[in-house]
Structure 1
Amino acid sequence: MLIYDILPFCVQTQRLIKNTSALRFGILGAARIGPEALFKPAKTHPDVVVTAVACRDKTRGQQYAQKHDIPRTFSGPNAYHGKSLHIYAQKLVTDPDIDVVYIALPNGLHFEWTMRALEAGKHVLVEKPLTNTAEEARQIFALAEEKGLVALEALHTVFHPANHRVREIIQSGELGKVKSVVSHFIFPRFISPLFFEKDDVRFHYDLGGGSMTDLGVYPLAEIRFVTSSDTVPLEVISAKAVGHPKDPERIDRAMHIVYALPNTDATAEVNIDFSAPGWGPFGLLPRMMRIDATIKLEGGSIFIYNFVMPAAFHFIRVTPKKGSGRFEQVYTFKGGKGERSWSTYRYQLEAFVDKVRGRTPSFWHEPISSISELETVERVYTKAGMQPRPASAYKRQG
């Protein structure tokens, strides 16, 4: 059982009458994330249909397509590597009946296939992190601009109104200036196997694995977004990694990072862990899963629980030093945009389609945010004494 099998909140299964000119999505990779990140949100968007999947394994690809009602399959051995690369994945990205390519491949393949899709004239939605390096991100956005296409890193959490509400409270000045932020994204060891496979792609260096590139970008994005620091790379004061047993010199199982927030003396502390051991005598007492952030300000504090999956359940606790505190839950933008049942992915899809269609989204994750995020990730690995994730060997065609 995996995380994508046990998320109960994304119940967006009602079918709509689709627009005759709906955007036709093809997905690269028969990925576990596909149903929550694309298929379920697409069912409630009248301007989105999923029409094709490309997969390395023919049997798996066909089973995946059948399970998720995807009409077409491009699959066979070595779909993403070797001589048959162009036979399968390349056929999907160049297919004239596909408008958008959703890339759900391992991190290390994002750059190549984003570039190939853009070169083929497709809009692209790419799982986070966008690429392994900031320089690769620059090349992607430069090509998208040149081609007049939309390329978006699927950092879905920043699209949800709950996280926007935290940012709004801070920006209002109600509690004064930010003094510090502490954030956690921790999976206890006793439940880690429910979320991560034994030989998960997240544990492979060549594929861009590591806790920082997987878990770490979420609290990094939260910190930068709510403190309005999401256009510049953060200074990394310290970073301490715990190596993963599979590859302890290059893959981080856990990371403790302290960032300096720009134009202030405030700091942000982050704790992430794929498999946190227990505590107490001999580590026998299990830890709880943690997905939260605490922002301390001059006049009080703000705590948000579950900033990664706020549609499942979240709360915002505002505690001023003077006066009464309060709890908030936010599921729609001001003006009523959104639905209580919409996941972060559904808000993200709404914004993506708006952008492609030339409309103004409620929020847009700008290229500079993705680039500076990756610059920060590279700084974290360097400060922790680990190699940054490797650049792709792919070179732009033509």
Structure 2
Amino acid sequence: MADHVRWGILGAAKFARDHMGPALNAARRGRLAAIATSSEEKAAPFAALAPGLAVHLDYDALLADPDIDAVYIPLPNHMHVEWTLKALEAGKHVLVEKPMAMQAEQFDEVIAKRDATGLIAAEAYMVVHHPQWVKAKELFEAGAIGKIRRVSVAFSYDNSADGGNIRNRPETGGGAIPDIGVYAYGTVRFVTGEEPEDILSTCIERQNGVDVWSHITARFPSFHYTGVVSMRMAPFQEVVFHGDGGVMRLTAPFNAAVYGEAAVEVQDNALEVRRWRFPAANHYVHQVEAFNASVLDGAPYPCPLEFSKGTQEMIDMIWKADRG
């Protein structure tokens, strides 16, 4: 391997074109080197971004490319485990879009393959690489809000007009909870270091076989959780950690710079407010740089598969509770 990671992308997804492709190319010690897609036309925007880009017309051809060190997988959810395993078997490091799997037990085969190959495999859970969330965890652990009692999360957007979107299709692993519930649940676990003990209530609305709106309450060891995620509401996102010594609020916690400016606000019991702003941070670039450091230097990856499996375990608990 050279002094940088040579990246390939499986599929010309819009998200890859708009966010992760640029991040792969902008991150230090990395370069976007190849894409696998069904046509040169779909590859064109990526080629414009990365001159000299190799274009493969099927996924297996990219995995066989000896000039590629790592692959980013933005395929539909139900294809993530299959192609992660294939990439690892082909000797490539893997960064795969969330959710990695549709059930927690599916992580086990990927973890075993990661360990057997000695390669890096991780879910693209970019938010925990953002300095906003790093600061929130630091403040929480320092006791900035005292003893935690309540966490409230809201994350919504509206894609009702896009019936063909993979998020609106059950056969591709669609639904709001697999798409954005991972953020509503995983970030709370990240900051507090706690795991849910029980799902107290579920109220889930479904359309065409996928969840489009849900209100979930859960009991964690130290606090009560309440959260709404939806693909049928006006765009909104906010996370609030409420303790006996203060309140911590995160603005634009999941789509920093797209939804708005990422910031952390802490209000103490005297109603005094401290605020930390992060207007320029790009969590996609930070994520890729962390991955590159793991590949090149052997640095521990900040968001291992074991953490991602824990979020899926909470989702599995929600599905089980909703079935009664």
TM-score (normalised: structure 1): 0.76
Q: Which position in structure 2 is the counterpart of 1:275?
A: 232
Deviation of the 1:324 alpha carbon: 1.9
Deviation of the 1:315 alpha carbon: 2.2
**Structure-2 separation of matches of 1:174 and 1:32:** 39
Q: CA contact under 8 A between 2:130 and 2:286: conserved in structure 1?
A: yes
User: What CA RMSD, in Å, does the superposition of the two structures yield over aligned residues?
Assistant: 2.1
Cα deviation digits, residues 80-124 of structure 1 (max 9, x gap): xxxxxxxx2111112211110110100000000000000111100
Q: Which position in structure 2 is the counterpart of 1:343?
A: 282
**Structure-1 separation of matches of 2:61 and 2:245:** 57
Deviation of the 1:74 alpha carbon: 1.9
Deviation of the 1:370 alpha carbon: 1.0
Structure 1 unaligned residues grouped into runs of 5+: 1-18, 76-87, 277-287, 332-339, 387-398
Match of 1:222 among 187, 203, 209: 187
Change beyond 3 A, Cα 1:354–1:375: same
Q: CA contact under 8 A between 1:24 and 1:50: conserved in structure 2?
A: yes
Cα deviation digits, residues 273-302 of structure 1 (max 9, x gap): 1012xxxxxxxxxxx521101111011211
Q: Which position in structure 1 is the counterpart of 2:316?
A: 378
Q: CA contact under 8 A between 1:309 and 1:343: conserved in structure 2?
A: no
Q: Which position in structure 1 is the counterpart of 2:50?
A: 69
Match of 1:317 among 254, 259, 265: 265
Q: CA contact under 8 A between 1:36 and 1:345: conserved in structure 2?
A: no
**Structure-2 separation of matches of 1:306 and 1:318:** 15
Which structure's CA Rg is the greater one? 1
Q: Which position in structure 2 is the counterpart of 1:201?
A: 166
Match of 2:293 among 354, 371, 375: 354
Structure 2 unaligned residues grouped into runs of 5+: none
Q: Which position in structure 2 is the counterpart of 1:257?
A: 216
Change beyond 3 A, Cα 1:243–1:359: same
**Structure-2 separation of matches of 1:20 and 1:140:** 26
Which residue identity does 2:203 align to in structure 1? K
**Structure-1 separation of matches of 2:197 and 2:77:** 22
Q: Which position in structure 1 is the counterpart of 2:140?
A: 170
Match of 2:6 among 21, 24, 40: 24
Q: CA contact under 8 A between 2:123 and 2:304: conserved in structure 1?
A: no
Q: Which position in structure 2 is the counterpart of 1:368?
A: 306
Q: CA contact under 8 A between 2:17 and 2:45: conserved in structure 1?
A: no
Change beyond 3 A, Cα 1:107–1:268: same
Change beyond 3 A, Cα 1:385–1:60: farther
Aligned length: 321
Q: Which has the higher helix share?
A: 2
Q: CA contact under 8 A between 1:234 and 1:259: conserved in structure 2?
A: yes
Secondary structure of 1:357's aligned partner = helix
Secondary structure of 1:295's aligned partner = strand
Match of 2:198 among 216, 235, 240: 235
Higher mean Cα deviation, 122-131 or 163-172? 163-172
Change beyond 3 A, Cα 1:52–1:197: farther
Which residue identity does 2:243 align to in structure 1? L
**Structure-1 separation of matches of 2:32 and 2:70:** 9
Secondary structure of 2:135's aligned partner = helix
Secondary structure of 1:319's aligned partner = strand
Cα deviation digits, residues 206-264 of structure 1 (max 9, x gap): 211110000111111121111122xx4553222111112xx1xx310111111211x32
Cα deviation digits, residues 112-146 of structure 1 (max 9, x gap): 00000001111000001111121211111110111
**Structure-1 separation of matches of 2:149 and 2:28:** 44
TM-score (normalised: structure 2): 0.92
